[in-house]
Amino acid sequence: MSRILTGIQATGTPHLGNILGALLPGIELANQANNEAFFFIANLHSLTAIKDPEVISNNTYSVAAAWLAFGLDTNKNTFYRQSDLPEVCELMWHLNCFTPFPMLANAHSFKDKSETLADVNAGLFTYPVLMAADILLYDSDYVPVGKDQRQHLEMARDMATAFNHQYGDLLVVPEGKYDERVMIVPGTDGRKMSKSYNNFINIFLDEKPLKKQVMSIITDSLALEDPKDPDTCNVFGLYKLVAEANEVSEMRKKYQVGGFGYGHAKKALLEVLIDSYKTPRDEFNRWMNDKGALDEQLALGAEKARKVGTAALGRVRNALGY
Ligand code: ADP
Ligand code: TRP
C-alpha cells in the first residue's frame, strides 16, 4: 500500500480546468486498490494571500463539496482540512530549524513576489516549510503535484534528509509524482483556464449563469455559412474535452462543411455541460446547502489523519529530547 498525499489550495469553486486537470486524476489515483490517499484543503497556505475569514471559509467548503460531488471515497481515503491539524504547525517549526535561509530565498513562490520585500509576509517566505510539514507529518510515499510544485517537493525531500541525517530514519522521504500528460483546459478566451484570468467555466452553476459563461467564449467573426476550422476554435476546444467521441467527430464535420454557426456550437457545448455534469452539480449543491454535513466529513477525515500525524510527531518529539 502506498500513501499518496496532496494539498488543494482553497482558492474558490473548482472550475472545469481544475476538475479535468487535477480533481478527476486525483480521484483516479485515490481509487486504485494499492493506494491510500490523504487529500487535504490547504487553507493555512491560503492565509498567505487571503485575509478575509468568510472568503477562506467559503473557498474551503466549495473545494470540499467539489471533491465529494465527484465521488472521492472518504472511507477508503482521508480527506481533511489542513487547519484542523495544528500538529502540522509544530512539525513546521522543527523543520524550520533544518531549513537553510538561502533555500527559502531561492523558492519561486517567494522570488516571484519579492520585488517589494515589504509586501512579503513571513508566511509566504516559509510557505515551502509548511508544505514539507504537510507531507512529512503523514509519512507520505508519493506526492502528486503539478510541475510548478517540483521545487517545493525537492525542498521537502532535503528537509527530511537533513533531519534523518541528524536523528536517524524518522521521516519518510517522499517522492514527487508529476503528471506527464499535459492536459491544459483552455478558458473562454483561449488562454489556459484560470481563476486569475477570469476566463473559467463553473460547471456547478445553474443553467442561466452557465449559459452566460458559455456564450462569452470568444470566437472569430466567420459567417454562419462559412466552413470553419475546429482546431482553432475555443468552443470546439472545450467541446472535445467533455463530449463523447462520436459527438466530437460529428461536430468536427459540421465545422468543416459550413452552415454551422458558433451559436450552434455553443448551444451544443452548453447541453453537454448541463447533462453530463448533472449528478456532480446536484451533489455539489446538496453539500453546499448542508455545511454541517461537510464539517462532519472533514472532522472524520481529521480524526483519521490525526492518528498518523501524532505518531510521526511523537517520533520527532522523542528524538528532539523535549
Ligand atoms: P487557477 O489557475 O485557476 O488558480 P490553480 O493554480 O489553483 O488554478 O490550480 C489547481 C490545480 O488545477 C492544479 O493542479 C493545476 O495544475 C490544475 N489546473 C488549473 N488550471 C488548469 C487548466 N486550465 N487545465 C488543466 N489543469 C488545470
Ligand atoms: N502548494 C501547493 C499548491 O499550490 C498546495 C499544497 C500545500 C500541497 N501543501 C501541500 C501540495 C502538500 C502537495 C503536498 O498547489
Predicted confidence (pLDDT) per residue in 251-297, tens digit: 999 999 999 999 999 999 999 999 999 999 999 999 999 999 999 99
Residue 322 binned pLDDT confidence (cut-offs 50, 70, 90): confident
Q: 164 and 58 in one domain?
A: yes
151 grid coordinates? 521545487
Residue 181 has a pLDDT of 66
CA-based nearest residue to 136, from 36, 32, 38, 22? 38
Is ligand 1 within 6 A of the CB of residue 21?
yes
In a domain, 198, yes or no: no
Asked if 220 and 167 sit in the same domain, the reply is: no
8, 97: one domain: yes
**Residue 14 sits in the same domain as residue 52:** yes
Nearest to 281 by CA among 216, 221, 203: 203
The CB of 155 under 6 Å from ligand 2? The reply is no
- Report pLDDT for 177: 93
Total domain count for the chain?
Answer: 2
Lowest mean pLDDT among 76-85, 108-117, 192-201, 279-288: 108-117
Ligand with smallest separation from the Cα of 25:
1
Q: Is 177 labeled as catalytic in the residue annotation?
A: no
Is the shortest distance between the CB of 18 and ligand 1 below 6 Å?
A: yes
Please say if the pLDDT value at position 180 is more than 80.
no
Residue 251 maps to a domain: yes
Q: Give the atom of ligand 2 at the shortest distance from the alpha carbon of 42.
A: 7
Q: How far apart are CA 108 and CA 302, in angstroms?
A: 30
Residue 132 shares a structural domain with residue 162: yes
Q: Are residues 299 and 169 in the same domain?
A: yes
Domain range holding 140? 2-185+290-320
- Identify the pLDDT of residue 230: 97
Asked if residue 47 is part of any domain, the answer here is yes
Regarding the beta carbon of 189 and ligand 1, being less than 6 Å apart is answered: no
Ligand nearest to the CA of 133: 2
pLDDT at residue 137, as a whole number = 98
Kindly indicate the confidence band of residue 113, based on its pLDDT and cuts at 50, 70 and 90. Answer: confident
Choosing from 76, 147, 192, 240, the catalytic residue is 192
pLDDT at 158 over 90: yes
**Set of cell numbers at residue 63:** 473545494
Cα–Cα dist 198/10, whole Å: 17
Residue 157 belongs to domain with CATH number: 3.40.50.620
Q: What sign has the CA pseudo-torsion 84, 88, 90, 93?
A: negative
CA of 180 to the centre of ligand 1 (A): 15
202 alpha carbon – ligand 2 mean position (Å): 22
Name the DSSP class of 192: B
Q: Does residue 48 sit within a domain?
A: yes
Residues 99 and 152 in one domain: yes
Atom of ligand 1 nearest to the CA of 21: 26
State whether 87 and 216 are in the same domain: no
Residue 191, pLDDT > 70, answer yes
Query: Is residue 284 situated within a structural domain?
Result: no
Is residue 191 a part of any domain in this protein?
no
User: Is residue 51 annotated as a catalytic residue, yes or no?
Assistant: no
Residue 195: active-site member: yes
pTM (2 d.p.): 0.95
Pocket probe mutation, ligand 2, options 9, 129, 147, 153, max atoms within 8 Å of Cβ: 9
Task: Indicate whether 54 pLDDT > 70.
Answer: yes
- Report the chain's mean pLDDT, rounded to a whole number: 96
Better-scored residue on pLDDT, 280 or 109: 280
Q: Evaluate if residue 172 carries a pLDDT over 90.
A: yes
Give the domain CATH number at 242: 1.10.240.10
Please tell me if the CB atom of residue 140 comes closer than 6 angstroms to any atom of ligand 2: no
How far, in Å, CA of 106 to CA of 24, rounded?
32
179 and 36 both lie in a single domain: yes
Query: pLDDT > 90: what percent of the chain?
Result: 94
* Number of C-beta neighbours around residue 169 at 10 A: 11
Whether 173 and 88 share a structural domain: yes
Residues 93-105 have a mean pLDDT of 97
pLDDT confidence of residue 147 = 87
Average pLDDT over residues 122-145: 97
Could you tell me if residue 260 is inside a domain? Answer: yes
**Residue 85 sits in the same domain as residue 225:** no
Nearest one of 80, 93, 107, 97 to 5, comparing CA atoms = 80
Does one domain contain both 46 and 152? Answer: yes
- Residue at 201 is within a domain: no
